[in-house]
Amino acid sequence: MMSQSKIFDSTTLRKTVLDMAYAGSTVHIGCAFSIIELLAVLYRNHLRYPGNDPLAACRDYFVLSKGHGVMAQYACLRDLGWLKDEAFSHYFSDGSDLKGLSDSRIPGLEVTSGSLGHGFSVGVGMAMGAKLRGTDQKTYVLVGDGEINEGPIWEGSLFAAHHDLKNFMVIIDENGFQAMGSTQDVIKLDSIQAKFESFGFEATTIDGHNETAIDGAITRFWESDSKSPKALIAKTIKGKGVPFMENNNIWHYTRLDPETYAQALSALADCVQ
């Protein structure tokens, strides 16, 4: 495993995503890029895995409900040493264990997700279980803003608030897009923070690419005396880090070719100069 000072670097994580997407000729690059900083902060500063064991009984839970963003999570698991380099160079090839959606058969991935809306309620159940057991385990669930069109999100929210699941945090990747267009055009959301507050959540909105803001908001939530579940609304940019992908929803389903792969790598290199 890399030294702590070199892991969860956002540019390196994005390069890993590009390498995977190119090697496997796969899609969902933009929606992986929008959650890079969120995952980096969670894995670096907040998620607890005693003994660096993804199956530790007393671990915190992280549920990637927007399972199509899984390349970003794979990149983090590589930094943790839970996935080997060869898994990335053969991504999405015949016999590969790594799929294009979150798969619970991979240690570190808590749920099989991709059918949107379900991971949220699974996470609520995990938080309820921890409360009943009397442990200090925390549950984080990351959803997309398009995903919260789904009814199970709001059924789970009612349950979480009713049972005072203060150990539960949903993180909403508000990048303004979903597969078929902008969230404003498909089903407008207005204030996501106000919606979760109306369902009994303690909620706040931040810049989802500012790691200091992300870390501070999570820390303040856990230091709060409120018994309510938490909602962290992260304003993000779909395709963040590669200018020709940013806010360009074509990169939800577009595959890299040799030219765009080289251009994207060059754009990332420019970010660190």
pLDDT tens column, 170-212? 999 999 999 999 999 999 999 999 999 999 999 999 999 999 9
**Which tens digit of pLDDT belongs to each residue from 116-166?**
999 999 999 999 999 999 999 999 999 999 999 999 999 999 999 999 999
What tokens were used for 51?
């003994």
Question: What total of structural domains would you count in the chain?
Answer: 1
271 or 21: which leads in pLDDT: 21
Report the pLDDT averaged over residues 252-259: 97
Report the pLDDT averaged over residues 82-101: 93
pLDDT value at position 1? 40
Boundaries of domain holding 189: 4-271
**Which tens digit of pLDDT belongs to each residue from 92-118?**
989 899 999 999 999 999 999 988 999
pTM equals 0.96
pLDDT value at position 4? 46
The identity of residue 167, as a single letter, is N
pLDDT value at position 273? 54
Looking at the DSSP assignment, which residues form a beta bridge with residue 139? 61, 168
**Rounded Cα distance, 143 and 156, in Å:** 13
The identity of residue 101, as a single letter, is L
Do 28 and 90 meet the contact criterion of CB atoms below 8 Å apart? no
pLDDT value at position 114? 85
**Which tens digit of pLDDT belongs to each residue from 207-239?**
999 999 999 999 999 999 999 999 999 999 999
Under the banding of pLDDT at 50, 70 and 90, the label for residue 5 is: very low
Do 239 and 247 meet the contact criterion of CB atoms below 8 Å apart? yes
Report the pLDDT averaged over residues 18-24: 97
Pairing, β 181-182 against β 177-178:
antiparallel
pLDDT value at position 233? 98
Tokens 């798969």 — which residue? Answer: 103
**Rounded Cα distance, 155 and 22, in Å:** 38
pLDDT value at position 6? 62
**Rounded Cα distance, 93 and 170, in Å:** 33
**Rounded Cα distance, 51 and 155, in Å:** 35
Does 272 have pLDDT greater than 80? no
- The residue among 19, 6, 50, 71 whose CA lies nearest residue 264 is 19
Three-class SS string for the chain?
A: CCCHHHCCCHHHHHHHHHHHHHHHCCCCHHHHHCCHHHHHHHHHHHCCCHHHCCCCCCCCEEEECCHHHHHHHHHHHHHHCCCCHHHHHCCCCCCCCCCCCCCCCCCCCCCCCCCCCHHHHHHHHHHHHHHHHCCCCCEEEEEECCHHHCHHHHHHHHHHHHCCCCCEEEEEEECCEECCEEHHHHCCCCCHHHHHHHCCCEEEEEECCCHHHHHHHHHHHHHCCCCCCEEEEEECCCCCCCCCCCCCHHHHCCCCCHHHHHHHHHHHHHHCC
What tokens were used for 56?
């530790």
State the helix-helix crossing angle for 258-271 and 10-24, rounded to 10 degrees.
180
**Which tens digit of pLDDT belongs to each residue from 33-77?**
999 999 999 999 999 999 999 999 999 999 999 999 999 999 999
Assign residue 178 the CATH number of its domain: 3.40.50.970
